[in-house]
Amino acid sequence: MSFNDFWDVLILGAVLGSLYAVIAIGYTLVYGVLQLLNFAHSEVFMVGGFGGVIALTIFVPAADPSGLQSIVYVLLGILFGAALGGTVAFFLEKVAYRPLRRRGAPRLVFLITAIGASFFLYNLAGKLFGRNPMPMPQMYENKTVVTIFGSTLNITQTLILGAAVVMLVAVDFVVNRTKLGSGIRAVAQDPEVASLMGVNIDKVVSRTFVLGGLMGGVAGFLFGTTNQVFYTMGFLPGITAFAAAVLGGIGNVRGAMLGGLTLGLVEAFTVEVWGDAWRYVGAFAVLVLVLMFRPTGILGERVARTA
Amino acid sequence: MLNKRIVKIALPVAIGALALSACGSDDGGGGSAGGDGGGGGSFTIAYQGPLSGPNADLGINMENGVKLAIKDANESGDYDVTFDYLGADDRGEPGQATSAAQLVIDNSDVIAVVGPAFSGAANVAAPVYGEAELTALSPSATNPDLTEQGFPTFLRGVPNDAEQGAAIADFFVSEGVEKAVVIDDLGDYAVGLANVIEENLDGAGIEVQREQLPENTVDHSSIARTVMQSSTDAVVYTGYYSQAAPLAVKLSEQGYDGIGLGGDGVKDPEFVNLASGGAAEGWYLSCPCRDLTEDEVGQGFTERYEAEYNRAPGTYSPEAYDAAMMIIEAVNELGDSADRASVHETVAQGEHDGVAKTLSFDDKGEYAGSGIYIYQVEEGEIVSRGNVEDLVG
Amino acid sequence: MTTTETVREVSAAARLRKTSWYQEPRWRRLAALVGVAVVGAQVTGVEGTNRDIFYALKENFTSTGILVWLAVCVGIWVVREFVHTPLGNAWKTAKQTVKAPAGEVQAVWRKQFWLRVAILSGVLVFLIVLPLLVSRHWQQVLVDQIAIYVLLAIGLNVVVGWAGMLDLGFIAFFAIGAYSAAFWTGSLPVAPPMELNNFAVIPVAVITCLVAGVLLGAPTLRLRGDYLAIVTLGFHEIVYLGAKNWQSFTGGTSGARVERFSIDLGFWSYSWGLDPRPYYWLLLAFIVALLFLFIRLEHSRVGRAWTAIREDEVAAASTGVDTVRFKLLAFAIGASTSGIAGVIYASKLAYINSEAFIVLFSILVLAYVIFGGMGSLPGVLVGTAVLVWLPEFLRDSVPPQDRYMYLGALLVVMMIYRPQGLWPSRRRQRELHMAEEGTGGADALGGTAGGKQV
């Protein structure tokens, strides 16, 4: 592998990894407050993709958009993706998980509810929007933006990297610096004590879901711009992002970011060496190996410890 | 807690939705079942294929083709008997194939089956159909193995891959290709076709590089990069249009300017639609099917299909339509005396000039027809370039 | 309460708790039901198209379907709000009248050993003659899906229900079993050292799966619940991709044709053919044998060790239970059961390809076990049978594309209203009860989600 190849693959891996990181945050936040594997998060991601298509179908992009128009379209897509993702996550928590929390149901039951909700949501999306994939309407001409060591970075890749960095910084700020963040950390550490200290658990949990949903929705939109939108699109990225969250130390926000990036890079290099067919073998082998030596992931567990 | 603000927003929306639904007109119950064909008996034609699961889109393409054939037959008034439809979903999985097949067999009205759609399911279901003497005419199962097993009633209504592979090799030679990258999606159909293409290209002295691009790959940039690095003249993708489109997009983004060619799984108007930004422009598509736009039969089919299902006929829709029509004609020929065994005999020995191709079978149930056609994407339309033999010759 | 002072005093506190009319439970229930109606109208509405993303939404909001849904839901609301008391009372009386005799029956059931034996043999006889009573289609469903998944579910129940480990890669062992059958009967592209009869493959497959289970389990079983889940999921994905990509060995997606079962004892021989019934009886024999074995196991020292690990692993370890060994044992037993199912599956279909072993199936089996009531054998049997039967049953009543949407909705609704499963075991019920009161864990994953609600 030449130096140039290395940079090419590094860029591909970083772009994919930053998408995984954004999705993984959704898993990890929910896990932090509920110790729940929210399998339905992959459907929040999928809905975000459809949100982008809906936005760009309503505000039909001009055939030859100017720079300003392109920015508006992208922002609209992000906005709709986030809005739809957040809405679905909000109702998911309210309908599927809150009744279980009230009964103090064991966590495996949550898992099955999550699986059921996931089945329901993606099949419903397939029914409403058709089972064929849809393209994301074109918002700009995908030109090369910068060249680093002979490797190019085009607009879509820059967009994904940029949006991911902004979101990751924002979520890190929210978790560590805001009132909601301290609520999230308090609930993650000990829900009973937190509620005694006047934290409204219901509100914190609900907002955590919405926060994760917003990020998942944007990730869905971004995925749609570089791939396409279809009703089962959440499954594979969802599982990988879930693995990323575990790899970094589930419940740990910075861990999820690190885990996402790591898996993205591992995938890109696996594909470079062994081909696309072995993509997930590399990723999961790394996961299993890391967990063997660090049983709680790279950075360890829990939202609370990052503070 | 329902937030006050949320309710303030939600309430008008809910009221709006209520008002909307209240104003909405009643448009259910339109479209009658179709004319009564004149006093004859009624037969059911079944379809077995994936109607749910990851390959539902392909399965629904075929189902629509079969349904349209039945509708056309009932409305045309040319037939003495009427036809009904029965769908059996096998999710494209071998594990559900026998029970889906048995569901069809147990229904004594069923006279013949279009399907099983996928080779894996066909492998499991064909012996069961054989035992029940029920014709299983598959519009899409291409695994060459299937006709070698001696399944009594299995008929393949689609050429197996050998002919297409040879035609593509001829075409590339005539285009002066020296190196080609052949990409499959690890699926049954794509691997089979890619193997044959690879052999034929090798035989024609063209250097071949073989790659895999699994279905639902999250990132097509890597494979596009591999193609760019190989400095190839041509790329062949043997899977389906849903993967071919993002591949074409990534290739065009990375500045690929060689030949792109897709197999019959790519020849779907959705390919052009999905490859946004004109990335599909100039791609060649090979298909053992005639051009639907060149004669009235094909145009009529396309029009009726679009009117019925809100989209252009997809991959395998015309094939499924032809298969169903062939069965319908065989049943009509036999009249009221038609039973499962006699329908099989008639279909297996008959010939049907359909919208996509002429269907007939050899004694193993293998498709016995010929002709590979090359299409090209030109200004967002799939345009026929004619028969490969004519192109090469 | 009548003087002005008290009113003012109350209102000061009440301002904080002031609820508008729409925040009253009654109106919120109405909003929820209207929501149900809107979603329901989408669920039963038209099929969308990718060419016009709004097509289905437009149709669904303007058709009669949504009006019917709204009428039904508002009707339910009216009944719930205004005719509530008499209905509730009637329900209570009905419950009480049923409960007393039901309790008596239960007491008799527990006391009378021979009665139990008689009823269980009755059930067994019914199960034996069942395929003679149903159509051929249902016979196929019974074999290909229900019986196979029941076998898988009782295996997974050992891992999840008894030892309390979350295993998302159970179908990987099913795949290993199926490919063992294909390999040792000489059906794969690679020739085996010696060809075996399908029945002789079963012990070989069991050993292969045991070894695979131990190899995977030994380094990973010290991981806590969720980490174990993702590791097993990863293992499954690796096995699946191996089967799919290593085409020169497994045949990949093109698959491999496998021999069917046959017995040749010299003086008597029999071959299983296309008729599903002999497979059913064979599977039933396996299921009954394994059930017998597992029931013995549940009440043995091993079973009690599993219970201890499940309820509190640290406490179990400190009282001298070798937790790693017992967890490994559960894992290996589950894996080999899955392997047996794999051999039978491959021999019944006479064909396998990699697509029969996707990750989704592992998730489905887990859902079956928990739906039935994990840890409870009758629950797992009934739950699996019901959930596998449902999509087949729905074939006739809903569009086939939507079957799994209804399955998903059922899982959610069921878990909300009956989290303990269809037929929970008594011990699990008690654990759940303790968890609800916050005095104990209900699975080895430790604690409940989000703590106790206040």
**Is some CB atom of chain A closer than 8 A to the CB atom of B55?**
no
Instruction: Return the residue of C nearest to B193 by Cα.
Output: C254
Strand blocks (E) in chain B: 42-49, 82-89, 110-114, 135-138, 154-156, 179-184, 207-212, 234-237, 259-262, 284-287, 351-353, 358-360, 373-378, 381-387
Q: What is the mean pLDDT of each successive set of 10 residues along chain A, which is 307 residues long?
A: 84 94 93 86 96 90 80 93 96 91 82 92 92 87 82 90 94 92 89 88 93 96 93 92 90 91 94 90 90 84 45
- What is the predicted pLDDT for the residue at C257? 87
Strands B135-138 and B154-156: parallel
Instruction: Return the residue of A nearest to B272 by Cα.
Output: A135
Instruction: Return the residue of C nearest to B16 by Cα.
Output: C61
Beta pairing partners, B85 = B45
Are residue B136 and residue B270 in the same domain, yes or no?
no
Instruction: Return the residue of C nearest to A287 by Cα.
Output: C231
Are residue B257 and residue B385 in the same domain, yes or no?
yes
Confidence of residue B388 (pLDDT cuts 50, 70, 90): confident
**Is some CB atom of chain C closer than 8 A to the CB atom of A81?**
no
Q: Which residues of C touch B28 (CB under 8 A)?
A: 63-65
Residues of chain C short of pLDDT 50, as ranges, are: 1-3, 440-442, 444, 446-454
- The neighbour count for residue C217, using CB atoms within 10 Å, is 26
> ipTM score here?
0.90
Are residue B216 and residue B120 in the same domain, yes or no?
no
- Exposed, middle or buried, B2 (CB in 10 Å: 0-12/13-18/19+)? middle
- What is the predicted pLDDT for the residue at A238? 93
- Give the CA diameter of chain A: 59
Higher-confidence residue of B26 and B174: namely B174
CA distance B338 to chain A (A): 37
Question: Looking at chain B, which subunits does it touch, using at least 3 CB pairs closer than 8 Å as the criterion?
Answer: A, C
**Element housing C246 (H / E):** none
Helices in C44-63 by DSSP H: which ranges?
55-62
Among B44-48, B205-209, C224-228, C405-409, where is mean pLDDT lowest?
C224-228
Instruction: Return the residue of A nearest to C32 by Cα.
Output: A95
Question: Looking at chain C, which subunits does it touch, using at least 3 CB pairs closer than 8 Å as the criterion?
Answer: A, B
Are residue B280 and residue B165 in the same domain, yes or no?
yes
Confidence of residue B389 (pLDDT cuts 50, 70, 90): confident
Is residue B76 pLDDT above 80, yes or no? yes
Are the Cβ atoms of A141 and B223 closer than 8 angstroms?
Answer: no
The verdict on residue B365 lying in a domain is: no
What is the token pair recorded at B274? Answer: 């999905």
Q: What is the pLDDT of residues C349-399, one digit of tens each?
A: 989 989 889 988 999 999 999 888 878 899 999 999 999 999 888 887 888
Are residue B380 and residue B333 in the same domain, yes or no?
no
Are residue B172 and residue B303 in the same domain, yes or no?
no
Is residue B10 pLDDT above 90, yes or no? no
Q: Which of residues 256-275 of B touch A (CB under 8 A)?
A: 270, 273-275
Looking at this protein, which amino acid is placed at residue A61? Answer: P
Please name which of A216, A173, A183 lies closest in space to residue A26, comparing C-alpha atoms: A216
Are residue B109 and residue B178 in the same domain, yes or no?
no
Among C401, C402, C453, C454, most B C-beta atoms within 10 A, so best to mutate, is C401
- The neighbour count for residue C50, using CB atoms within 10 Å, is 23
Are residue B247 and residue B113 in the same domain, yes or no?
no
Residue-wise burial string across C87-117, b where 16 or more C-beta atoms lie within 10 A, e elsewhere: eeeeeeeeeeeeeeeeeeeeeeeeeeeeeee
Among A8-12, B82-86, B222-226, C269-273, where is mean pLDDT lowest?
C269-273
CATH number of the domain at B122, please.
3.40.50.2300
Residues A67, C22: Cα–Cα separation, whole Å: 46
- What's the residue count for chain B? 393
- What is the predicted pLDDT for the residue at A269? 93
Is residue B103 pLDDT above 50, yes or no? yes
- What is the predicted pLDDT for the residue at A304? 42
Contact C109, C115 (CB under 8 A): yes
Are the Cβ atoms of C450 and A205 closer than 8 angstroms?
Answer: yes
- What is the predicted pLDDT for the residue at C50? 79
Q: What is the DSSP letter of B311?
A: S
Are the Cβ atoms of B212 and A275 closer than 8 angstroms?
Answer: yes
* CA triple C321-C327-C331, angle to 5 deg: 160
Are the Cβ atoms of C49 and B311 closer than 8 angstroms?
Answer: yes
Q: Which residues of C touch A291 (CB under 8 A)?
A: 220, 223, 227, 230-231
Is residue B234 pLDDT above 70, yes or no? yes
Is residue B201 pLDDT above 90, yes or no? yes
Q: Which residues of A touch C436 (CB under 8 A)?
A: 103-104
Are residue B266 and residue B234 in the same domain, yes or no?
yes
Are residue B88 and residue B232 in the same domain, yes or no?
no
Q: Which of residues 337-376 of B touch C (CB under 8 A)?
A: none
Q: Which domain holds residue B230?
A: 161-287+373-392
Q: What is the DSSP letter of C356?
A: G
- What is the predicted pLDDT for the residue at C435? 64
Q: What is the DSSP string of C250-276?
A: H-GGG-EE-PPPEEE-SS-EEE--S-H
- The neighbour count for residue C453, using CB atoms within 10 Å, is 15
Domain count, chain B: 2
The verdict on residue B26 lying in a domain is: yes
- What's the residue count for chain C? 454
In three-state secondary structure terms, A106 is strand
Q: Which of residues 103-162 of A touch B (CB under 8 A)?
A: 123, 126, 131-138, 141-142, 154
Are residue B142 and residue B282 in the same domain, yes or no?
no
Residue carrying structure tokens 């299921």: C287
Confidence of residue B232 (pLDDT cuts 50, 70, 90): very high
Provide φ and ψ at A2, rounded to 5°. Answer: -75, 170
Among B3, B13, B20, B21, most C C-beta atoms within 10 A, so best to mutate, is B21
Q: Which residues of B touch A244 (CB under 8 A)?
A: none
Residues A292, C219: Cα–Cα separation, whole Å: 6
Q: Which residues of B touch A275 (CB under 8 A)?
A: 211-212, 226
Instruction: Return the residue of C nearest to B15 by Cα.
Output: C34
Are residue B213 and residue B125 in the same domain, yes or no?
no
Q: Which residues of C touch A99 (CB under 8 A)?
A: 416
Is residue B378 pLDDT above 60, yes or no? yes
Instruction: Return the residue of B nearest to C242 by Cα.
Output: B186
Break chain A into its structural domains and give their ranges.
Answer: 20-234
Q: What is the pLDDT of residues B160-173, one digit of tens each?
A: 788 888 889 989 99
- What is the predicted pLDDT for the residue at A183? 92
